[in-house]
Structure 1
Amino acid sequence: MADIDVKAQALSAARHRILQLQEQMTDRVLQMAAEVDKLMDIVPMSEAKAFLKARCNLPSTELSTYVGFAKTLKGYEDVLQKSRASFPVVKALVLAGGDVRNEILERMEIGAQIDTKDVALIRRKLVAAKLTPKEAVAAYQKKVLTAAARRQTKDSQSSFQKDVSTFVDVLLRLWVKLLPLDDELHAGLRHRASQLLTVFESLYGAEHRPAAEITQTYRDYPVAIAHHALRQFRDGLFGGTFGYGFVSGDGTANAIDALQPFTGKVPTEFGKVRERKHPLDVIEPLRPRVLELCAGGGGMALGFEQAGFRHIALIEYNKNAVATLRKNRPNWNVIDADVRKVDFTRYRKSRIDVLCGGLPCTPFSTVGQKKGKRDENDLLMEGVRAVREARPRAFLFENVEGLLHARHADYVAELLRKLSKASYQTEIHRINARDYGIAQDRSRIMIVGFRKGSRGVFRMPPKFPEMAKNMGDILADLMGANGWNGANDWVRMMRERPEFDRFGKEVGIGALSDTIRGYQGSAHEGEARRALKNGVSYAPPAKDAPTNAEASTEGFVPGLTNRMRARIQGFPDEWQFIGGLGPVADQIGNAVPPKMAQALGLALYSALKGLEIAWDVMFKNADISQRSGIPPVGIDPPALSPDAADLPSLNLMSILDK
Structure 2
Amino acid sequence: MGKLVSVDVCSGAGGLALGLERAGFDPVLLLDNKPIACETLRRNRPSWNILEMDLVDFDPLKHRQVYGVDLLSAGLPRVKSSATTKRVETGLELRLMKATVRLAHTIQPKALLIENVPELVASPEFGEVRDYLQSQVACLEYGFHWFVLNAADFGVPQDRKQGVLVALKDRYFDRFESPAPTVSRPVTVGEALLPSMSARGWTGADEWAARANRVAPTLVGGSDNRGGADLGLTGTKRAWAQMGINGAALSDEVPGSDGIQESDTSGSPLKKLTVEQTARLQSFPQDWIFAGKKTARYRQIGHASPPPVGEALGRALAEALRS
Q: TM-score range by the shorter chain?
A: 0.7 to 0.9
Q: List gaps (5 residues or longer) in structure 2.
A: none
CA contact (8 A) 1:348 1:389 kept: no
What displacement does 1:354 show?
0.4
**Which secondary structure does the structure 1 equivalent of 2:115 belong to?**
strand
Question: Following the alignment from structure 2 to structure 1, what is the Cα–Cα distance between the partners of residues 7 and 185?
Answer: 29
- Counterpart residue number, 1:337: 53
- Counterpart residue number, 1:535: 244
User: Closer, same or farther in 2 for the Cα pair 1:347/1:369, shift >3 Å?
Assistant: farther
The alignment status of 1:385 with 2:102, answered yes or no, reads: yes
CA contact (8 A) 1:340 1:382 kept: yes
Question: Following the alignment from structure 1 to structure 2, what is the Cα–Cα distance between the partners of residues 477 and 368?
Answer: 36
Q: Which shows bigger deviation, 393-402 or 447-456?
A: 447-456
| TM-score normalised over the length of structure 1 | 0.45
Amino acid across the alignment from 2:38: V
**Which secondary structure does the structure 2 equivalent of 1:559 belong to?**
coil
**Which secondary structure does the structure 2 equivalent of 1:571 belong to?**
coil
Q: Which has the larger radius of gyration?
A: 1
Q: For residues 304-347 of structure 1, what are the alpha-carbon distances to aligned partners after superposition, in whole Å with 9 as ceiling and x for unaligned?
A: 11111111101111111101111111101111111111123544
Question: Percent identity between the aligned chains?
Answer: 30
CA contact (8 A) 2:254 2:274 kept: yes
Q: Pick from 114, 123, 127 the counterpart of residue 405 of structure 1.
A: 123
The alignment status of 1:435 with 2:153, answered yes or no, reads: yes
- Counterpart residue number, 2:181: 463
Question: How large is the Cα RMSD of the aligned pairs?
Answer: 2.4
Q: Pick from 290, 293, 299 the counterpart of residue 15 of structure 2.
A: 299
The alignment status of 1:314 with 2:23, answered yes or no, reads: no
User: Closer, same or farther in 2 for the Cα pair 1:475/1:349, shift >3 Å?
Assistant: closer
Q: For residues 83-141 of structure 1, what are the alpha-carbon distances to aligned partners after superposition, in whole Å with 9 as ceiling and x for unaligned?
A: xxxxxxxxxxxxxxxxxxxxxxxxxxxxxxxxxxxxxxxxxxxxxxxxxxxxxxxxxxx
Question: Following the alignment from structure 1 to structure 2, what is the Cα–Cα distance between the partners of residues 556 and 436?
Answer: 32
Q: Pick from 302, 311, 317 the counterpart of residue 589 of structure 1.
A: 302
- Counterpart residue number, 1:480: 198
Question: Following the alignment from structure 1 to structure 2, what is the Cα–Cα distance between the partners of residues 529 and 314?
Answer: 38
What displacement does 1:527 show?
5.5
What displacement does 1:592 show?
1.0
Q: Pick from 40, 50, 57 the counterpart of residue 324 of structure 1.
A: 40
The alignment status of 1:514 with 2:231, answered yes or no, reads: no
**Which secondary structure does the structure 2 equivalent of 1:541 belong to?**
coil
Q: For residues 40-73 of structure 1, what are the alpha-carbon distances to aligned partners after superposition, in whole Å with 9 as ceiling and x for unaligned?
A: xxxxxxxxxxxxxxxxxxxxxxxxxxxxxxxxxx
CA contact (8 A) 2:7 2:71 kept: yes
Does 1 or 2 have the higher relative contact order (CA < 8 Å, sep 6+)?
Answer: 2
Amino acid across the alignment from 2:277: M
What displacement does 1:596 show?
1.2
Question: Following the alignment from structure 2 to structure 1, what is the Cα–Cα distance between the partners of residues 305 and 124?
Answer: 25
Question: Following the alignment from structure 1 to structure 2, what is the Cα–Cα distance between the partners of residues 467 and 525?
Answer: 28
Amino acid across the alignment from 1:479: M
Q: Which shows bigger deviation, 350-359 or 535-544?
A: 535-544
**Which secondary structure does the structure 1 equivalent of 2:184 belong to?**
helix
Q: List gaps (5 residues or longer) in structure 1.
A: 1-284, 498-510, 611-658
Question: Following the alignment from structure 2 to structure 1, what is the Cα–Cα distance between the partners of residues 54 and 138?
Answer: 25
Q: How many residues align?
A: 310
What displacement does 1:597 show?
0.6
**Which secondary structure does the structure 1 equivalent of 2:242 belong to?**
helix
Question: Following the alignment from structure 2 to structure 1, what is the Cα–Cα distance between the partners of residues 310 and 210?
Answer: 30
CA contact (8 A) 2:111 2:168 kept: yes
Q: What is the 5 A alignment of 1:76-475?
A: 286-344=2-60, 346-347=63-64, 350-361=67-78, 363-368=79-84, 370-378=86-94, 379-403=96-120, 404-454=122-172, 457-466=175-184, 468-475=186-193
User: Closer, same or farther in 2 for the Cα pair 1:360/1:552, shift >3 Å?
Assistant: closer
The alignment status of 1:568 with 2:260, answered yes or no, reads: no
Amino acid across the alignment from 2:141: S
User: Closer, same or farther in 2 for the Cα pair 1:307/1:364, shift >3 Å?
Assistant: same
What displacement does 1:552 show?
11
What displacement does 1:369 show?
5.8
What displacement does 1:348 show?
6.8
Question: Following the alignment from structure 1 to structure 2, what is the Cα–Cα distance between the partners of residues 528 and 393?
Answer: 42
The alignment status of 1:580 with 2:282, answered yes or no, reads: no
User: Closer, same or farther in 2 for the Cα pair 1:349/1:564, shift >3 Å?
Assistant: closer
Question: Following the alignment from structure 1 to structure 2, what is the Cα–Cα distance between the partners of residues 298 and 473?
Answer: 24
What displacement does 1:349 show?
6.4
User: Closer, same or farther in 2 for the Cα pair 1:416/1:483, shift >3 Å?
Assistant: same
User: Closer, same or farther in 2 for the Cα pair 1:454/1:581, shift >3 Å?
Assistant: same
